[in-house]
Amino acid sequence: MFINSSSKFTFTRFSYHSGDWDTDQRMPSNILNSLLEYTTIPIEQKEKVVALSSPDIFNSPFSYLSGHKLVQFDEQERTNFKKYVQNGGFVFADDCNHDIDGLFAKSFEAQMAALFGQDALKKIPNDHEIYNSFFKFEKGPPTTSFELNGWGDDLVHDYLKAIIINGRIGVLYSNKDYGCEWDYDFRNKRFLAEDNTKFGVNIVVYAMSS
């Protein structure tokens, strides 16, 4: 069980001192709308931003962290991040550059290695439970239009990485730029042939079933 978890799902975003954490600002509302549309999970209707250095992070079992620039946690942020994950918290970290050689990717992965060990962040198989936690994604993580259009490393990433704590994902890490893929007004989903936020629902359902 997580510390002080509430009965309603709260989309919590971590702010941190380095880099740019306040990306894809419409995405949380889009995911919250999808949870309302597809599931019976009770939700708080607005995103909550919490400083990673604050003890308030321990009130939210799910969190989101993103950016384009440097990720260099200060001492309190490092302490809180590690404690949060080890106590059952779930972090969805998304690289807005979709670039494995970019600054966010290299610095975030270095932070994870320093906190959890050099080999802690590993590729997860495409038949992992998270791809079947609500909707079925038989080929693993869905591709984003940002990958297909290049802009980052010009690669389509056919995997996600994770840090596993006690048999469950504690940190889910993506170079696919899902945040930007889902960064649009939720009312515009009706114009899509297929709702591309469905994998976001899977992530939340998996995180909340821990």
Pairing of strands 121-124, 160-165: antiparallel
Is residue 194 in a domain? yes
**Domain region containing 87:** 12-208
Is residue 39 in a domain? yes
Number of domains in the chain: 1
For residue 15, report the phi and psi dihedrals to the nearest 5 degrees. -95, 150
* Encoded tokens for 109: 């992965």
User: Using CA atoms, how far apart are residues 5 and 168, in angstroms rounded to an integer?
Assistant: 18
Is residue 98 in a domain? yes
How many angstroms separate the Cα of 24 from the Cα of each of 35, 91, 184?
18, 16, 8
pLDDT in tens, the chain (210 residues): 455 555 789 999 999 999 899 999 999 999 999 999 999 999 999 999 999 999 999 999 999 999 999 999 999 999 999 999 999 999 999 999 999 999 999 999 999 999 999 999 999 999 999 999 999 999 999 999 888 776 778 888 889 999 999 999 999 999 999 999 999 988 888 888 889 999 999 999 999 986
CATH of the domain at 102: 3.40.50.12140
3-state secondary structure 67-118: ECCCCCCCHHHHHHHHHHHHCCCEEEEEECCCCCCCHHHHHHHHHHHHHHCC
Is residue 5 in a domain? no
In this prediction the pTM is 0.94
Is residue 172 in a domain? yes
